[in-house]
Amino acid sequence: MRRLRTQVAIVGAGPSGLLLSHLLALRGIDSIVLEQRSRDYVEQRVRAGLLEQGTVDLLREAGLADRLDREGLVHEGFELRFDGSQHRLPFTELTGWTTCMYGQQEMVKDLIRAREAAGGQVHFSVDDVAPRDVATTCPRVRCTIAGDAVEIAADFIAGCDGFHGVCRQTIPAGAVTTYEHVYPFAWLGILAAVPPSTVELLYAVHERGFALHSMRSPAISRLYLQVAPAEPLADWPDHRIWAELRTRFALDGEEALNEGPILSRSVTEMRSFAMEPMQYGRLFLAGDAAHIVPPSAAKGLNLAAADVRVLAAALTVWYAEGRPDLLEGYSRVCLAAMWQGQEFSAVMTSLLHRFPDEDRYAVKLRQARLRDLVTSRAAATAFAEQYVGLARTRLTGAAGAALSARPAQR
Ligand code: APR
Ligand code: PHB
């Protein structure tokens, strides 16, 4: 067995694990990242794409935003269609904050290159990852790297291994409380090689179900359709996807949509999951490993970045000053932000989707809520503050400051 030693062993090379490794390296803290998939797989995996301004600022401060600043599409509002009419929610006018469209896999590519350039240790295609002794001061990770059995001794283990990872499973059941909610619908998402038909994101609430027109670049569109859970992709040939999108985006008859080759397609379940606390002994969970939200409000990636920011700051204080208080408070700080993100994701999910068992009364209530959003500046501002991530910065004084790169605005 090969034996290695590092300060922080990080399981998972998604956005959480890679960003944590990078932020720690900036503060002189050594880490080893262990990823079960190949580099190619993690770089090509199509996921989220909306970065809040606070997330962009964090990446910029960490020297990770050169390409993001060149290629990211900065947005100042979105379009909302319901009940046969179109409205704009000007979130930047209401909050001062923007969002940025930049594919998660592009962010992952940038992070991997940055770790590579700095001589960071990121191992791909690692098998049998098993955290050990996490309740002691000498935690270890066993794994298989290129066919060799390896044991990594560390001061801390960061579980950044997503919803299906192993780290959460190593925590004894009685030590955490979990919360879960599954929605009775899913999203069919496509990435298409076609210029977006809209400049800003377009959220369409339709009697046949929700549809979203998003984008990744001036040449790549990202579109979503609400479908039944576990909908077979085989039932959705290209022409049916485009026809359904046209119908749901239509204001008057059929909408003209730019159509092009579909590069990838997948069905995403709509689920919420949370656990309290997000740490056990020397194991700290971050991002999807600790919580997931339905994709409606695009909060998953931004909450992951918020966790990692807090964890990196807490580890820095521990190594620099020997103070454990920030590490001890890690869950408390992250959970406040996480529950705010859960709540807004649930609000946006219920505002946009048709529920299979709902009655006509529920439909009318949703329309009233939507109308309020586009006619009341107070309602629109409260919504926009959540949407752009500004609300998160106001949570709790100093703890809030650790959650976002930008100071609270009022
Ligand atoms: N061993 C090693 N790596 C693992 C293991 C394991 N047993 N299990 C999972 N992984 C890896 C996955 O292959 C993946 O690359 O951990 C990584 C987790 O990455 P993500 O699932 O992307 O989670 P995270 O980094 O927290 O990113 C936040 O925000 O928008 C959402 O879901 C979206 O992925 C995004 C998330
Ligand atoms: C996306 O582009 O993937 C996206 C954008 C906005 C959302 C959800 C998903 O609200």
102-123 confidence digits (pLDDT tens): 999 999 999 999 999 999 999 9
Predicted confidence band at 283 (pLDDT cuts at 50, 70, 90)?
very high
**What pLDDT band is residue 405 in, cutting at 50, 70 and 90?**
low
Ligand 1 centroid–CA 398 distance in Å is 29
Helix ranges restricted to H, 27-88: 39-44, 53-61, 66-71
Identify the pLDDT of residue 410.
41
* CA-based max dimension of the chain: 68
Ligand at shortest distance from the CA of 38:
1
Helices of type H across 175-299: 238-249
The residue nearest atom 6 of ligand 2, judged by CA position, is: 298
SS3 for 224? strand
Q: Poorest-confidence range of 214-228, 294-308, 386-400?
A: 386-400
Q: For 365-380, what is the mean pLDDT?
A: 97
Tokens representing residue 251 in the block: 């204001």
Provide, for the chain, the percentages of residues in helix, strand and coil under a 3-state DSSP scheme, each rounded to the nearest 5.
40, 25, 30
Query: Residue 36 has which token pair?
Result: 């079960």
Q: Characterize 301-324 residue by residue with b for buried, 16 or more Cβ atoms within 10 angstroms of its Cβ, and e for exposed.
A: bbbbbbbbbbbbbbbbbbbeeeee
Known active-site residue 387: yes
For residue 167, count CB atoms less than 10 angstroms from its CB and return exposed for 0-12, middle for 13-18, buried for 19 or more: buried
User: Does the C-beta of 48 come closer than 6 Å to ligand 1?
Assistant: yes
Question: Separation of 317 CA from ligand 1 center, angstroms?
Answer: 26
Taking CA 22 as the corner, what is the angle to CA 19 and CA 28, rounded to the nearest 5 degrees?
145
Alpha helix ranges (H) inside 323-410: 325-328, 330-352, 360-375, 377-388, 390-393, 397-403
What is the spatial distance between Cα 157 and Cα 11, in angstroms, rounded to a whole number?
A: 8
Q: What is the pLDDT of residues 69-107, one digit of tens each?
A: 999 999 999 999 999 899 999 999 999 999 999 999 999
CA of 307 to the centre of ligand 2 (A): 20
For ligand 2, the distance from its centroid to the CA atom of residue 77, given in whole angstroms, is 13
User: Whose CA is closest to 398, among 344, 325, 302?
Assistant: 325
Over residues 360-376, mean pLDDT: 97
User: Taking a C-beta distance cutoff of 8 angstroms, is the pair 50, 101 a contact?
Assistant: yes
Q: Is residue 364 annotated as a catalytic residue, yes or no? A: no
What is the spatial distance between Cα 182 and Cα 184, in angstroms, rounded to a whole number? 7
pLDDT on residue 395: 87
Looking at residue 408, what is its pLDDT?
A: 46
Average pLDDT for 338-344: 98
Residue 305 beta carbon below 6 angstroms from any ligand 1 atom: no
Rounded mean pLDDT, 285-307: 98
Q: Which of 201, 217, 268, 292 to mutate to test the pocket of ligand 2 (most atoms within 8 A of CB)?
A: 201
Question: Which one is predicted more confidently, 407 or 48?
Answer: 48
Q: What is the pLDDT of residues 313-325, one digit of tens each?
A: 999 999 999 999 9
- Work out the mean pLDDT of the chain and round it to a whole number: 95
Query: Beta-strand (E) ranges in 83-119?
Result: 85-89, 99-101
Does residue 139 contact residue 9 with C-beta atoms inside 8 Å? yes
Using the mean position of ligand 2's atoms as its centre, give its distance from the Cα of residue 400 in Å. 25
**Lookup: tokens for 202:** 């377009």
Q: Whose CA is nearest to atom 8 of ligand 2?
A: 298
> Would you say residue 14 has pLDDT above 90?
yes
Helix (H) or strand (E) holding 104: helix 104-117
Question: For residue 63, what are the CA distances in angstroms to 22, 115, 191?
Answer: 10, 12, 28
Q: Which entry of 295, 319, 330, 353 is annotated as an active-site residue?
A: 295
How is residue 88 annotated by DSSP?
E
User: Which residues form ligand 2's pocket by a CB distance below 6 Å?
Assistant: 48-50, 201, 214, 222, 295-298
Q: What is the predicted pLDDT for the residue at 67? A: 98
pTM of the model: 0.96
Ligand 1 close to Cβ of residue 47 (< 6 A): yes
pLDDT at residue 23, rounded to an integer: 98
* Residue from 328, 201, 287 nearest 19 by CA: 287
Side chain identity at residue 86, one-letter code: Q
Q: From 391, 305, 407, select the one nearest 51 (Cα to Cα).
A: 305
CA pair distance 55, 98, nearest whole angstrom: 11
Express each pLDDT in 201-258 by its tens digit.
999 999 999 999 999 999 999 999 999 998 999 999 999 999 999 999 998 766 789 9
Cis amide linkage into residue 15, ω under 30° from 0: no
Which tokens in the block code for residue 273? 């999951």
Model pLDDT for residues 166-175, shown as the tens digit of each residue: 999 999 999 9
Residues 6+ apart with CB under 8 A from 322: none
CB 249 within 8 A of CB 81: yes
Which residues is 144 bridged to in the sheet? Answer: 127, 149
162 in ligand 1 pocket by Cβ < 6 Å?
Answer: yes
Judge whether 295 counts as a catalytic residue. yes
What is the arithmetic mean of pLDDT over 12-37? 98
For ligand 1, mutation pick of 10, 18, 36, 167 (most atoms within 8 Å of CB):
36
